[in-house]
Amino acid sequence: VGIDKCKKTIFNAKKNLNSLKLQNRAKLLHRPIRQVFGYKFDLIVSNPPYVINRDIKRLSDDIKRYEPRSALDGGNDGLDVIRKVIYKSKHILKSNGILALEIGNGQHTDVIKMLNNNNFKLKEIPIIFHDRTIGQSKISKKMIWEAIFIVPKLALKRFFRL
């Protein structure tokens, strides 16, 4: 199941599914995560907007031209949508489910606190990806893109015998 509030994203995802002949293996929903009901997921992968709104003007021109502002703007602290995804995920993840988030540089401490406060537990250390914002083609210490993978504390009983 793919979920997005942007019609253009859903349209592009449908084109990709069709071109890969996977249209019968996936369902796409045009709605924000807060309007997802009646589903329980094993895995939620989210690339929410996480850029602090005052920093958007400093992003590279290709990102500002290509990405709609709503896909970038994470509010005053960059965490507005991340908070919503974490909160909603508590209710739509299966008890042994995994939540994977893409977050901004320097946000991991706040995000880990939010996850702990919502009964999630860190499963893996952050993974750093290519930094599109400064156009570097190699891994750098100044990465903007990080991801953290977590699982609910209940699931850890299976894996780590809490």
Distance CA 68, CA 48 (A): 12
Question: To the nearest whole percent, how much of the chain has pLDDT over 90?
Answer: 21
Contacts of residue 40, Cβ cutoff 8 Å, sequence gap at least 6: 92, 93, 94, 97
Q: How many Cα atoms sit within 13 Å of 8 on the Cβ side?
A: 5
Please write the tens of the pLDDT for every residue from 2-31.
888 889 889 999 999 899 898 898 889 999
Please write the tens of the pLDDT for every residue from 100-154.
888 887 888 898 889 889 988 766 544 444 444 444 433 333 333 333 444 444 4
Look at the pTM and tell me if it is higher than 0.75: no
Question: To the nearest whole percent, how much of the chain has pLDDT over 70?
Answer: 75
Please write the tens of the pLDDT for every residue from 63-81.
888 888 888 999 999 999 9
Residue 98 pLDDT greater than 80, yes or no: yes
Which helix (H) or strand (E) covers residue 9, if one does? helix 7-19
